Amino acid sequence: MNIILFGPNGSGKGTQGAILREKFSVRRIETGVIFRENVSGSTDIGRRAKIFIDRGELVPDDITIPMIMNRIKNPNFKNGWLLDGFPRNLTQAEALGMDIEREGINLDFVIEIIIDRDTAKNRIMGRRLCASENSHPNNISIDAIRPVEKHGALFCHVCGCETLTIRADDQDEAAIDKRLSIYFDTKTGTLAAVNYFKARMKVFEVHSFSEVQETSEHMMELLSCS
Ligand code: AMP
């Protein structure tokens, strides 16, 4: 099973990707994670990519495309992959489309998580981290996981922990806007990549509900009806 998962920051793509990986027993290829590993390992790719990552820009295609295509063709991935974070622009989509056709690799599902830009931005900026257990989800923009407010202070809605922290990069509005602009660009950006596949095959549009489970049930229902 080979799958591409599209969705902007704040759409819950990470969580839905984990659910898909479990369900279909595929290996996940997360471009952002691969880049971060290369940066922390000071590899040649990491050194070349860091400057773009730090600026919130896409790493150039001549670095990104071969890095991902080599993985897809690697025998370790022959039982299936889930692409998360690639392709992120039209050039990458065209390169991927041509390569998998040439290699005879089947693409089973392309999934697009739908969320409007303002909601995505609010969700990113609304994230709060529970200091006692970071898997406790808290978000001031999502009713279902809104922290509890008492006397003007916020507490984890799961365990009641009094320390909720904010990730600095979740509050960097300029960087968030830059990344969302790349995603929502229909000419050459990520939505142009989505449209590349829409012109060639069925793309499953999954709505990002505020409840993770509602989104994943909607997604599985669509995929099982295909
Ligand atoms: P992410 O964790 O997916 O938000 O990715 C972190 C950073 O890695 C991005 O801001 C880009 O600088 C870089 N990156 C991730 N995926 C790609 C891609 N497909 N093409 C180019 N750069 C990417």
How many A from CA of 207 to the centre of ligand 1?
23
Is 130 inside a domain boundary?
no
Work out which ligand 1 atom sits closest to the CA atom of 31.
16
Low-confidence ranges of the chain (pLDDT < 50): none
Cα(first)–Cα(last) distance of the chain, in Å?
14
Of 88, 90, 141, 86, nearest in space to 119 by CA: 141
pLDDT of residue 66: 95
* Ligand 1 proximity of 8 Cβ (cutoff 6 Å): no
Where in the sequence numbering do the catalytic residues fall? 13, 88, 127, 167, 179
3-state secondary structure 15-40: HHHHHHHHHHCCEEEEHHHHHHHHHH
pLDDT single digits (tens) 16-57? 999 999 999 999 999 999 999 999 999 999 999 999 988 888
How many A from CA of 179 to the centre of ligand 1?
9
Q: Which two tokens stand for residue 191?
A: 């939505």
pLDDT of residue 20: 94
Q: Which two tokens stand for residue 114?
A: 């739908």
- Pairwise CA distance, residues 210 & 64, whole Å: 32
pLDDT of residue 56: 82
Is 142 inside a domain boundary?
no
Describe the strand order of the beta sheet including 109-114 as a list of residue ranges: 27-30, 81-84, 2-6, 109-114, 203-207
* Ligand 1 proximity of 52 Cβ (cutoff 6 Å): yes
Is 148 inside a domain boundary?
no
- Pairwise CA distance, residues 209 & 11, whole Å: 9
* Ligand 1 proximity of 215 Cβ (cutoff 6 Å): no
- Pairwise CA distance, residues 40 & 43, whole Å: 8
Work out which ligand 1 atom sits closest to the CA atom of 88.
19
Query: Parallel, antiparallel, or unpaired for β 109-114 and 2-6?
Result: parallel
pLDDT of residue 164: 94
Instruction: Identify the CATH number of the domain in which residue 64 sits.
Output: 3.40.50.300
How many A from CA of 40 to the centre of ligand 1?
15
pLDDT of residue 226: 67
How many A from CA of 219 to the centre of ligand 1?
24
Is 141 inside a domain boundary?
no
Indicate yes or no: pTM above 0.75. Answer: yes
Is 182 inside a domain boundary?
yes
Print the domain residue range for 117.
Answer: 2-125+171-224
Work out which ligand 1 atom sits closest to the CA atom of 30.
3
Is 210 inside a domain boundary?
yes
pLDDT of residue 225: 72
Count of structural domains within the chain:
1
